[in-house]
Amino acid sequence: MADALGADYNRNQLTTMRSLVFCKPRATNEIANADPALLALCPLHITLTHKAGMSTVYFVRPSVVAAGSPGAAQAGKLEADIVKVIEGVMHGE
């Protein structure tokens, strides 16, 4: 990839980048029952990067995607569950 992209390759000098794709079937069912359009949230993903001793998590928040939707409450609960897991992992809990 570095050869194909040349000078544009990894300009942020990230040392590691990983993605995790996941789906929580029970939550997906609840969200779809409230608003089938929110099935676009499944699967969800997070991206983790590492640079200079610091790890960062990037995550599209379901509550933002579901804002104004009949499924907003369910999406917010799913988000809270996921954030709790992410924070636990990042802080060694």
The answer to whether 75 and 62 are in contact (CB under 8 A) is: yes
Task: Indicate the burial class of 70 (C-beta count within 10 angstroms; 0-12, 13-18, 19 or more).
Answer: middle
Cis amide linkage into residue 70, ω under 30° from 0: no
pLDDT mean over 20-29 = 93
E-strand stretches of 9-89? 16-22, 44-51, 54-59
Supply the Cα-derived Rg of the chain in whole angstroms. 16
pLDDT confidence bin for 45, thresholds 50/70/90? very high
pLDDT mean over 58-77 = 96
